[in-house]
Amino acid sequence: MAPAPSDDLEPLLGPAELATHVAELGARISADHPDGVTLVGVLKGCVLFLADLARTLTVPTRLELLAVAPYDGAAGRTRVVKDLDRPVTGEHVVLVTSIVDTGLTADFLVRHLQRGAPASVAVCTLADKRARRIVPVDVAYRAVDAPDGFLIGYGLDYAGRYRNVAGLWAADAAALAADPDRHLDRLVPRDR
């Protein structure tokens, strides 16, 4: 018998658990940045996390956004496709990203931000796949250590799907590759 689609999908964090983790990160970021902070979100995966995190901060906060092209293993680099709108010179910057996997993107972006001479740069990630690091990244703030498997939901996508799911789920990448829509009925129900 073929396995049910849900066999390759596990809930990792529900909306209430995510809110608790985000509030804890927000309290730590606020405590570490009493004079204020500039959150630099990495599009598009950061969007839900950034919106929730920003609302928990208790210090003056600026929001900036940037976007990168997916890491190109053949070219051996990534690149910024949407840069900061203004310099962050002298500001305390927290890079807000949905996931640190190999670390190549976060390492690249920290170096990119440092060229603008901020007072500091710290990395904040929703999920951290520490076992998969190629490049070391100093992650100051992490909500969750990611398990094996591909994460979707709460901003994280597979082929553009699932970003608008309220919780974070662990899925099987091979099953998603075979059918990218396989979890839509469960995670994005039409009657939700």
100 is a site residue for ligand IMP (CB under 6 A):
yes
Kindly report the number of other CB atoms within 10 A of residue 71's CB atom: 16
101 noted as active-site residue: yes
102 is a site residue for ligand IMP (CB under 6 A):
yes
C-alpha 151/C-alpha 157 separation (Å) is 8
Determine which one of 52, 101, 107, 128 is catalytic.
101
Could you say which of 122, 151, 165, 187 contacts ligand IMP (CB under 6 A)? 151
92: closest CA among 24, 31, 19? 31
From the list 31-39, 46-54, 110-118, 148-156, the region that binds ligand IMP by CB under 6 A is 148-156
β strands within the chain, DSSP E:
9-13, 37-43, 61-72, 77-82, 92-100, 120-128, 139-145, 150-152, 168-171
Of the two residues 38 and 97, which places its CB atom closer to ligand IMP in the complex?
97
Residues that bind ligand IMP (CB under 6 A): 45, 71, 99-106, 150-151, 156
Q: Which residues are catalytic?
A: 101
